[in-house]
Structure 1
Amino acid sequence: MSRVSTEIENHVARVTMTRGDKMNALDVEMVESLIAAGEALIGNDDVRAVVLSGEGPAFCAGLDVANFGRFAAEDPEALIMPRTHGLSNAFQRVSLVWRDVPVPVIAALHGVTFGGGLQIALGADIRIAHPDTKLSIMEMKWGLVPDMGGMVVLPKLLRSDVLRKLTYTADQVAADEAQAIGLVTELADDPKAAALALAEKIAGKSPSAMRAAKRLIAVAESGAPEADVLLEESREQAGLIGKPHQMEVIAANMQKRAPRFD
């Protein structure tokens, strides 16, 4: 049973976790549904931006505690060690799949964004949170460590001492503090509306340039040698200059109108 809905309108995909009665807590079905939703967008050339949100009172409360017994009864190495999705297992793919979606992904956060829910949000390019949102690297509360791709992203966002404190304590962080330390991009009283507005703005830009920008930023953040980053800048730019999308942007700017890429 799918726990996620996807609606595409005006080139914006709205991906919504629909387990609101359980605060969108992560069980195996939710993980599988989110992966499927993300992978379905990877090859969709009609989509230019994605908004990821959750129904009900929370974005995602993290792992469904009802699954702890189920997981404990299984061999943990057999459950999480196999690399079932390239470099990752399914629990890591549910977060990192959003980095592989070739267009910007915006997470709209409200209520609580805890544990695995935070790691899913970290897979997005941008996070917009309600001022009352609470966030936590919560795994230590349950005697665990973050293992859903968070350690790929968190060291790029947080100072080492802040990352260590939040990981060691499982403390909850208010949205304004989360913004100050880099977990959240911006605050909004209606984060989903703000995310949709931003997605629509992005969708109005050159589709090929936007995809190139996401690829280029990924290379720049990967720790690649400076020479490789500079070469990639040139390669991406050469693929855009004089092509139909760029020519339409120039024409639209000269004519003082919105560009048309359809």
Structure 2
Amino acid sequence: MSEDRVRVRMGDSGVATVTMVRADKHNALDQAMFEGLVAAAAQVAADTSVRAVVLHGEGKSFCSGLDVASFMSGRGGTGVLLERDGDHVANLAQSVSYDWSLVPAPVIAAIHGNCFGGGLQIALGADIRIAAPDAKLSVMEVKWGLVPDMGITQALPRLVPIDVAKELTFTGRIVSGSDAFALGLVTRNSGDPLAAALELAEEIAQKSPDAVRAAKRLYDETWVSDDARGALKLESELQTGLIGSPNQIAAVMAGMSGEKPVFADPTQG
């Protein structure tokens, strides 16, 4: 992963902070940024000590979207983004959003400044979004005569009704962080979204990582499914795996004693 574009830092409590580092360009997405984000998602997904992830952008913005000029000046243009590895469901453009769903631990996006086009789709790939009230968000692709194609189909339907999604996509209008909260695009507002995201991540990190990871999997696999039988079966399967496990027992003992629990890292990512 390129340190020039994406930085991953691990805290003592198991909170990983993933930072897009291209402040001079409002963290616009060039090929190095795409590759750095994909590598960062893979890194935190494979690390069983990660209890929660905070994703944010350095400088004045979360991410201002695709750096078209950088691709037009390079070999192959944007075609590299659409190439699909046969072993992965998403192409490079989609992976920077979709791959956060493959991280077993919760991912929290802290949104400030501009969050446009691909930048918004990256944020939508997180489990939770905390936005500054004055942040600016847009499904902006229509401005360039395009459709959003960075994993939006896997994220937006879980958040807003189809008419809201269409209106935002057909117009490309910019909404504030406050309006985004009202629409359901973001989870909540905060004057300091990064601090709020880190505080929430620390809170999650104090819970059983087995239970938190199982809950993420449960919702991700069933939320928009109409397979009631399969969803109810998964509930039972996940619960059976948790009951009597060391971390579940630790949670019970801590709940009964009032003492802070000590949890072991999950055995797999």
For the criterion TM > 0.5, the same-fold answer is yes
SS in 2 for 1:96: helix
Alpha-carbon deviation of 1:109? Answer: 0.2
Which deviations, in whole Å up to 9, do the C-alpha atoms of 1:35-70 show, x marking residues without a partner?
Answer: 000001111110000000000000000001313524
Correspondence list, 1:23-102, <5 A:
23-70=26-73, 74=76, 80-83=82-85, 86-102=88-104
Q: How many residues align?
A: 261
Correspondence list, 1:149-188, <5 A:
149-188=151-190
- Quote the residue 2:223 is aligned against: 221
TM-score, normalised to structure 2's length?
Answer: 0.93
Report the CA distance shift for 1:76/1:124 in structure 2 as closer, same or farther (over 3 A).
closer
Partner Cα separation in structure 2 for residue 76 and residue 35 of structure 1: 17
Report the CA distance shift for 1:147/1:229 in structure 2 as closer, same or farther (over 3 A).
same
Partner Cα separation in structure 2 for residue 82 and residue 256 of structure 1: 51
Alpha-carbon deviation of 1:189? Answer: 0.7
- Identity value in percent: 51
Alpha-carbon deviation of 1:152? Answer: 1.8
Are 2:107 and 1:105 equivalent residues in the alignment?
yes
Alpha-carbon deviation of 1:161? Answer: 1.3
Partner Cα separation in structure 1 for residue 95 and residue 169 of structure 2: 21
Which deviations, in whole Å up to 9, do the C-alpha atoms of 1:99-157 show, x marking residues without a partner?
Answer: 10001000000001000000000110000001110100001111111010012211221
SS in 2 for 1:61: coil
- Quote the residue 2:145 is aligned against: 143
- Whether the 8 Å contact between 1:51 and 1:108 is mirrored in structure 2 is yes
- Quote the residue 1:118 is aligned against: 120
Give the letter for the 1:59 counterpart.
F
- Whether the 8 Å contact between 2:136 and 2:177 is mirrored in structure 1 is yes
- Quote the residue 1:16 is aligned against: 19
Partner Cα separation in structure 2 for residue 78 and residue 40 of structure 1: 22
**RMSD between aligned alpha carbons?**
1.6
- Whether the 8 Å contact between 1:20 and 1:55 is mirrored in structure 2 is yes
Alpha-carbon deviation of 1:81? Answer: 4.5
Give the letter for the 2:213 counterpart.
R
2:241 paired residue among 236, 239, 242: 239
TM-score, normalised to structure 1's length?
Answer: 0.95
- Whether the 8 Å contact between 1:85 and 1:93 is mirrored in structure 2 is no
- Whether the 8 Å contact between 1:62 and 1:113 is mirrored in structure 2 is yes
- Whether the 8 Å contact between 2:71 and 2:77 is mirrored in structure 1 is no
- Whether the 8 Å contact between 2:31 and 2:71 is mirrored in structure 1 is no
Partner Cα separation in structure 2 for residue 144 and residue 68 of structure 1: 16
- Quote the residue 2:267 is aligned against: none
Give the letter for the 2:237 counterpart.
R
SS in 1 for 2:76: coil
Alpha-carbon deviation of 1:83? Answer: 3.8
Alpha-carbon deviation of 1:224? Answer: 5.0
Alpha-carbon deviation of 1:222? Answer: 4.5
Partner Cα separation in structure 1 for residue 173 and residue 197 of structure 2: 26
- Whether the 8 Å contact between 2:139 and 2:173 is mirrored in structure 1 is yes
- Whether the 8 Å contact between 1:59 and 1:111 is mirrored in structure 2 is yes
